[in-house]
Amino acid sequence: MSTENLYQKEALEKYLELSRSIETSMMLTNLGSKPVDSIPMTPKRINDNGSILFFSKSTSDHNKNIENDPDTQLIFSNVKSKEFLSVYGTTTISKDPILIEELYGNLDNNWFKGKDDPTITVLTFTPQQAQYWDTKTNSIVTLAKLAYTAITGDETEIGTSGSLKL
């Protein structure tokens, strides 16, 4: 796997490509604790500047953790496409009624009592730095390349990984 560290515009483009192609992330909060608190979260929107908006209940553990310490880690993983993204940043909490109105959909009724639910909050994650792994090949091709390397000793390209300086 080759290393390709990306900066500014290219880093943001790669970050947006990966974060938008993977439907759900694991949100880690209370990063100084052991074990770290984590919860699966599906973005409501990913803005062009890289910020990610989620809905969350004001009574949740992760909201309480963010109130105490905004440092947050998001882990995106798509095993099928062999794309992975780990992003560190900070998260803020708001009850912006305009955003809630704009982002609320019928599926949200599984967690909230409508868009006027008093516990609904908008979490805005702002990325600072990230790491990515991207093979862009399927498992059979990757296994064939690894087998080739094992037999011949010659290195084959199975993907890229690197840091994203946002």
Decide if 112 contacts 100 (C-beta within 8 A): no
pTM of the model: 0.84
Domains and CATH numbers, the chain: 2-165 (2.30.110.10)
Low-confidence residues of the chain: pLDDT under 70: 1-2, 136-159, 161
pLDDT of residue 122: 98
Q: What backbone phi and psi angles, to 5 degrees, belong to 87? A: -125, 130
Contacts 24+ apart (CB under 8 A), 59-62: 59/119, 61/29, 61/37, 62/27, 62/29, 62/37
42-71 per-position pLDDT tens digit: 999 999 999 999 999 999 999 999 999 999
The overall longest dimension of the chain from CA atoms, in Å, is: 63
